[in-house]
């Protein structure tokens, strides 16, 4: 393959999707390189989708050992201890992903991702992170922002029956079909830091309650020095105290973050496979759109709650001054 044209083997394998989004989009996918950190169930679903779609390569980073919790939601881990004993989560998932599509190069990078240099992230077209503390999310995104080229940045989190996706494509140009014409479009995305720094009182009144609740849990874990998901219902008093402080500081009514929602997020630290499939499917779709340059991207948060079955897109950005 010369890097520009699809081989006969690729054309035959990806024939159906080429009919949907065209050969040019498939060529872009086949040359793309994706970095993935945190092999949870939602991320396993995402990886399956992009590997089957035919990206060029996927690099996995997760040095954790396989646990019972991981087995419950991550279908890439086969339920045979002999197959994963002594291996990291990334290594086990790598083996399974290679079998899904041998034409995609899947590899493992070992080490603490927060210590990787800026140039490391420059090797990729998209960075997807999960199982990350607030501080680590900010650090990785800051390194990615220093790169001269545009690298798409995504965070994904799933807690019980709830999940969220954050998207930052920087200054993004794409095309979409409008009636019989192809229209060229452009969107500017705020960074992760800028987004979560938007004052709550400046947000639309009907913004998803999940946005506030997820930021609160994130801040609580960060303040307590916890890893993501290391919370339980026993932490509810501390979380409610933080809610009072944050709502007073941001001039937001505490009803925007209901007790029942916080309780569900604290109890449901494990993932539900059906929710993983939904969130992972949406994330895969968004990364494919960003790489191919086809279709309206999600800007910039997606929330899903299985309790009502609704998926919501929220544009959380600093309000533009009225001229």
Predicted confidence at residue 263, as pLDDT, reads 94
Burial class (CB in 10 A: 0-12, 13-18, 19+), 177: exposed
Predicted confidence at residue 71, as pLDDT, reads 85
d(CA 83, CA 301): 37
d(CA 69, CA 259): 26
Predicted confidence at residue 204, as pLDDT, reads 85
Q: Convert the pLDDT of each residue in 88-138 to its tens digit.
A: 999 999 999 999 999 999 999 999 999 999 999 999 999 999 999 999 999
3-state SS of the chain is CCCCCCCHHHHHHCHHHHHHHHHHHHHHHHCCEEEEECCCHHHHHHHHHHHHHCCCEEEEECCCECCHHHHHHCCCCCCCHHHHCCCEHHHHHHHHHHHHCCCCEEEECCCCHHHCCHHHHCCCCEEEECCCCHHHHHHHHHHHHCCCCCCEEEEEEEEECEEEEEEECCEEEEEEEECCEEEEEEEECCCHHHHHCCCHHHCCCCCCHHHHHHHHHHHHHHHHCCCCCCCCHHHHHHHHHHHHHHHHHHCCCHHHCCHHHHHHHHHCCCECHHHHHHHHHHHHHHHHHHHHCECCCCCCEEEEECCCCEEEEECCCCCCCCC
Predicted confidence at residue 2, as pLDDT, reads 39
Confidence tier at 70 by pLDDT (50, 70, 90): confident
Q: In Å, what is the CA distance from 129 to each residue of 93, 217, 241, 258?
A: 15, 17, 29, 28
Statement: residue 54 has pLDDT above 80: yes
How do 310-314 and 301-305 pair as beta strands? antiparallel
Predicted confidence at residue 1, as pLDDT, reads 36
Per DSSP, what are the bridge partners of residue 35?
A: 59, 127
Statement: residue 318 has pLDDT above 90: no
Q: Which of 300, 282, 313 is nearest to 206 (CA)?
A: 313
Predicted confidence at residue 187, as pLDDT, reads 94
The model's pTM is 0.93
Share of the chain above pLDDT 90, in %: 75
Q: Convert the pLDDT of each residue in 157-211 to its tens digit.
A: 999 899 999 999 999 999 888 888 888 999 999 999 999 999 998 998 889 999 9
Chain mean position to CA 4: 28
Q: Which of 134, 115, 144, 136 is nearest to 35 (CA)?
A: 144
- Return the CATH fold of 8-194+271-314: Rossmann fold (3.40.50)
Q: Convert the pLDDT of each residue in 209-258 to its tens digit.
A: 999 999 999 999 999 999 888 899 999 999 999 999 999 999 999 999 99
Structural domain boundaries in the chain: 8-194+271-314, 198-267
User: Could you identify the residue written with the tokens 């993501």?
Assistant: 228
Average pLDDT, the chain: 92
């Amino acid at each position: 393959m010369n890097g520009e044209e699809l081989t006969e083997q690729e054309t035959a394998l990806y024939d159906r999707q080429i009919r949907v989004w065209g050969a040019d989009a498939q060529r872009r996918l086949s040359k793309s390189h994706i970095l993935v950190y945190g092999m949870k169930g939602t991320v396993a679903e995402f990886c399956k989708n992009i590997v089957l779609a035919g990206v060029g390569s996927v690099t996995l980073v997760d040095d954790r050992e396989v646990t019972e919790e991981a087995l419950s939601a991550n279908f890439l881990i086969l339920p045979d201890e002999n197959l994963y004993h002594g291996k990291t989560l990334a290594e086990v998932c790598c083996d399974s992903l290679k079998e899904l599509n041998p034409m995609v190069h899947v590899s493992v990078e070992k080490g603490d991702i927060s210590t990787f240099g800026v140039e490391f992230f420059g090797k990729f077209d998209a960075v997807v992170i999960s199982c990350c503390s607030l501080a680590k999310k900010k650090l990785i995104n800051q390194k990615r922002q220093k790169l001269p080229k545009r690298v798409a940045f995504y965070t994904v989190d799933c807690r019980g029956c709830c999940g969220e996706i954050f998207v930052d494509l920087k200054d993004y140009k794409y095309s979409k079909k409008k009636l019989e014409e192809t229209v060229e479009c452009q969107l500017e995305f705020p960074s992760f830091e800028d987004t979560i720094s938007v004052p709550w009182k400046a947000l639309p009144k009907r913004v998803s309650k999940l946005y506030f609740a997820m930021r609160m849990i994130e801040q609580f874990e960060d303040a307590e020095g916890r890893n993501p998901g290391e919370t339980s219902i026993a932490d509810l008093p501390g979380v409610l105290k933080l809610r009072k402080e944050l709502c007073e500081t941001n001039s937001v009514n505490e009803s925007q973050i209901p007790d029942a929602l916080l309780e569900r997020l604290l109890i449901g630290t494990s993932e539900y496979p059906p929710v993983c499939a939904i969130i992972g499917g949406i994330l895969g779709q968004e990364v494919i759109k960003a790489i191919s340059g086809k279709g309206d991207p999600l800007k910039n948060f997606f929330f899903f709650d299985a309790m009502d079955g609704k998926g919501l897109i929220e544009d959380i950005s600093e309000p533009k001054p009225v001229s």
